[in-house]
Chains A and B, each alone.
Chain A
Amino acid sequence: MKYVDEFRNPGLAKGLVKKVAELPRRNVRVMMGGGMIAHAAAEAGLEDMLHKEVTLILGPGCPRCVTPASAIDNAIAISEFPKTIVTIHGGMTMIPGSSKSLEAKKAEGGDIRAVYSCTEALNIAIKNPEKNVIFVAVGYETTSPTVASTIIEAQRKGVENFYITRGHIIFTSIFRALLEGGEARFNGLLMPGPVSTIIGSKAYDFIPEKYKLPCVITGLETCDILQSIYMLLKQMEEDKPRVEIQYSRCVNEEGNLAAKKILNEVFEVCDSPLRGFGVVPKSGLKLRKKYEQFDAEKVYNVQLEETKESKGCICGEVIRGVMTSSDCPFFGKACTPRRPIGPCMVDPHGACSLNYRSSSVRGLLRRFT
């Protein structure tokens, strides 16, 4: 496969692993700032290849994992209204709310449909004019511009039965909250290429400037990640923290200006709750006044009871990188991919699910149980 195989070249990968091993750093903790990086690293089995002194830790960044239980509770409550179709990205349906997931609600008879894109949800609305169609908007700037353009399209077509929930998150806001909190210990950050393609590398300037941490924007193929780890360690060695772009075939300083413009046209920044962090100032997006006819909150007056996270589940701490999966008493025992308790185990890109499938962690598990 052209443009993929080149970046998974075994010889190149082994060479990069060797170069990383030759760097003098000891006990380096690299935070992978996105579920996609962690997933790609796990798929390639990188953990077993890297020098023992380099530890990859899973940070926040999986959009499904940081979406709070209240967002799911809200969607479930909306689905109980008559003549209502709730649409959501497929991967979100299994994420637990306070008492159940949308998948469980669907099994009880709720009209909940997994869609591939917001456009698909709009098409469902156009085909079902007698019903209200709600799109549960989640994710970062990787998905929010497409939602913004769908809203413009809905307005242009005069669609009156289509709404979205407030769930989009500003990617960098999580890392501001994480670094502000000061709990997590790591020496450098790998940031995911896809979202950086939209927001641009400048969005991360606060990381080296304010927190003196090196930051590399990485592609998601094996050799991309290995090269990025090398670049990060090199920055540490030089003690000159900065934002570097490894994924230069797609990312630039400014990002995708057209996408940013459309985002700004449709949405404005608001405070928003994040799983593991509580309400984070300026972390979310809501529709501007001009487009508020599409805001589900304006139509559905849902009063949620207090949201509950599973008792004893440490997903919040795992998301913040303060604890790891194996610190959790449930991990691999009461909580497995087959019977998940928290979102980090439900989602295939979540920290616990990835750790469960990682051979070295499982090895540890076996030794201690």
Chain B
Amino acid sequence: MHELIENLIVPPFKNPILEVLDDAAVIDLGGTKIAYTTDSYVVDPIFFKGGDIGKLAVNGTVNDIAMCGGTPLYLTASLIIEEGFPISDLNRIILSMKNAAEEAGVEVVAGDTKVVNAHSADKIFINTSGIGVVPKEVSISGLNAKPRDKVVVSGYIGDHGISIMSQREDLGFETNVSSDCAPLNDLVAHMLKTSNKIHVLRDPTRGGVATVLNEIALRSKVGIIIEEEKIPIREGVRVACEILGIDPLYVANEGKLVAVVAPEDAPQILECMRKHKYGGNAEVIGSVVKEPASTVILNTSVGGKRIIDMLVGEQLPRIC
């Protein structure tokens, strides 16, 4: 996917705003910095423990704007619905979007609805786009990580991915883990009030924390060293990952962020995050180094080291 985007999709549209490849584009519009983003949601199952496709579609776009340090304001929503989709389910999804928008403090101001033939789409797909304002003095980007910076995660990782996997019938395992789907704009606002030395913010959705750290290491041309024993992982997620033979570092999150911050501000940022509803289990998990550049290394809890690479393909349960 990473190569597909960089080699095939981005080049024809080549422009300096797109090339930054952050979660949202930051544009200067007559002296106002605007964060602008779009995302499509095709999650299966559409209803899951801790959320549904509607809540995800609102929070995902809200979070992409928040990860640029922006205050999300307005959203659009486009629905692609498969013929025969139950009205009661649609109603449930729309109400869920309304509630999510209220919590995040954004308004849905435009939209589109298409119904397609049966089998031309899988139940329902949602695209949302969002716009927000970035304060002039804020400059947060995947390009900004510097040696000695600290790497922070806002809480337990892997909840969303494991929750979804456990509810897909083909894997046949059960867990009590709920998706962490949540809006992070208020948490980010609090963090920005605490420190002006937040260099990078990312929400580790598809591909998980490992993928986000690799993107930061590549774009900022730095190395990142993380400590296995510091990474907050819920027991249920650890157990599920052990059984399935997958690495929680690559499992998706929908209500967590990774922040790269100046070392001197790390303690107060951590304290501020831990006071927030969506940052209660925040931890400093590692730091940024100059060499080896563009590489993420994990110090294992038993004292070894291993390279955390970009995820290739899908993580699949082992057979042997």
Spell out A's residues near B (CB within 8 Å): 1, 4, 8, 10, 13-14, 17, 34-36, 42-49, 62-64, 89-92, 94, 114-116, 120, 138-140, 142-143, 194-195, 222, 337-338, 349, 356-359, 362, 366
Contacts and interface: CB of A to CB of B under 8 A. Distances in A.
Contact of B301 (A8, A139, A359): A8
Interface residues of B toward A: which range? 20 to 34
A117 to B, nearest CB: 9
A348 to B, nearest CB: 8
Given A63-B320, A139-B320, A194-B320, A43 B306 contact: yes
Nearest to A49: B304
B319 A89 contact: yes
Q: Which of B3, B242, B303 has the most CB of A within 10 A?
A: B303
Interface stretch (B8-16, B89-97, B130-138, B309-317): B309-317
B235 interface: yes
Interface stretch (B55-63, B115-123, B278-286, B292-300): B292-300
Contacts, number: 95
A202 B108 CA distance: 69
B67 to A, nearest CB: 25
B304 A90 contact: no
Contacts of A46: 302, 304
B303 A49 contact: yes
18 contacts: A1-B235, A35-B320, A43-B300, A45-B299, A45-B304, A45-B305, A46-B302, A49-B303, A49-B304, A62-B320, A63-B320, A90-B319, A116-B170, A139-B319, A143-B320, A194-B320, A359-B306, A359-B307
Contacts of B309: 337, 356-357
Contacts of A63: 319-320
A59 to B, nearest CB: 14
B238 interface: yes
A195 B320 CA distance: 8
A47 B317 CA distance: 25
Contacts of A142: 320
Nearest to A362: B307
B172 interface: yes
A338 B3 contact: yes
Q: Which of A64, A90, A337, A349 has the most CB of B within 10 A?
A: A90
Contact of A359 (B170, B238, B305, B310): B305
Contact of A45 (B229, B300, B317): B300
A1 B301 CA distance: 14
B298 A45 contact: yes
A10 B303 contact: yes
Q: Which of A120, A338, A357 has the most CB of B within 10 A?
A: A338
Contact of A44 (B171, B304, B316, B319): B304
A142 B313 CA distance: 25
A121 to B, nearest CB: 11
A45 B170 contact: no
Contacts of A45: 298-300, 302-306
Nearest to B306: A45
Contacts of B193: none
A142 B245 CA distance: 15
Given A4-B242, A43-B306, A337-B312, A359 B317 contact: no
A114 B119 CA distance: 21
Nearest to A50: B304
Contacts of B292: 366
A84 to B, nearest CB: 20
Contacts of A49: 302-304
List 6 tightest A-B contacts by C-beta distance, closest first. Answer: A45-B304, A90-B316, A13-B302, A89-B319, A45-B306, A45-B300
B287 to A, nearest CB: 17
B318 interface: yes
B320 A94 contact: no
Q: Which of B238, B295, B310, B318 has the most CB of A within 10 A?
A: B318
